[in-house]
Amino acid sequence: MTRPTSRDVAAHAGVSQATVSLVLGDKWTGRVSRRTADLVRAAAEELGYRPNLAARSLRLGTTRTALLVVPALTNEFFARVYTGAAAVAAEHGFGVVLYPSPDGTGPARDPFASARAALDGVIASSMAAGALEAIKGADLPLVMLDSDPADGAAAHVNLAIADGVRQAAGHLLGLGHRHLLHLASAIDTWTFRVRARALADTLRDTPGTRLHTARAPLSVDAARAAVETALTGAGPGRPTAVVCDDDILAAGACKAARRLGLRVPDDLSVTGYDDLSLATAVEPELTTVRLPAEQVGQEGMRALLAVLDGRPWETPELPVDLVVRGSTAPPPAR
pLDDT of residue 54: 42
Q: Residue 50's pLDDT band (boundaries 50, 70, 90)? A: low
**What is the rounded CA–CA span in Å between residue 1 and residue 250?**
58
Element housing 334 (H / E): none
Mean pLDDT throughout 46-66?
A: 62
Residue 32 in this model has a pLDDT that exceeds 90: no
Mean pLDDT throughout 158-174?
A: 97
Per CATH, 6-51 and 161-291 having the same topology is answered no
Decide yes or no: CATH 3.40.50.2300 for domain 161-291: yes
3-state secondary structure of 232: helix
Mean pLDDT throughout 159-181?
A: 97
pLDDT of residue 116: 47
- For 71-95, the pLDDT digits (tens) are 878 889 999 999 999 999 999 989 9
Per DSSP, helices labelled H in 25-140 are: 34-47, 53-60, 76-91, 133-136
Mean pLDDT throughout 166-171?
A: 98
Residue 175 in this model has a pLDDT that exceeds 80: yes
Mean pLDDT throughout 33-42?
A: 90
Residue 135 in this model has a pLDDT that exceeds 80: no
**What is the rounded CA–CA span in Å between residue 139 and residue 96?**
18
Residue 139 in this model has a pLDDT that exceeds 80: no
**What is the rounded CA–CA span in Å between residue 202 and residue 70?**
30
Q: What is the largest distance, in Å, between two alpha-carbon atoms of the chain?
A: 82
Fold of 62-158+293-316: Rossmann fold (3.40.50)
pLDDT of residue 134: 60
- For 241-289, the pLDDT digits (tens) are 999 999 999 999 999 999 999 999 999 999 999 999 999 999 999 999 9
pLDDT of residue 334: 64
What percentage of the chain reaches a pLDDT higher than 70? Answer: 85
Residue 117 in this model has a pLDDT that exceeds 90: no
- For 276-330, the pLDDT digits (tens) are 999 999 999 999 999 999 999 999 999 999 998 888 888 889 999 999 999 999 9
* Stronger pLDDT, 70 or 180, i.e. the higher one: 180
Residue 1 in this model has a pLDDT that exceeds 50: yes
Per DSSP, helices labelled H in the chain are: 6-13, 17-24, 34-47, 53-60, 76-91, 133-136, 161-175, 190-204, 220-232, 247-259, 278-281, 293-308
Q: Residue 58's pLDDT band (boundaries 50, 70, 90)? A: very low
pLDDT of residue 188: 86
**What is the rounded CA–CA span in Å between residue 155 and residue 314?**
7
Residue 235 in this model has a pLDDT that exceeds 90: no
Predicted TM-score (pTM) of the model is 0.77
pLDDT of residue 102: 57
> Domain 6-51 is in which class?
mainly alpha
pLDDT of residue 115: 39
pLDDT of residue 143: 92
pLDDT of residue 172: 98
Domain extent listing, the chain: 6-51, 62-158+293-316, 161-291
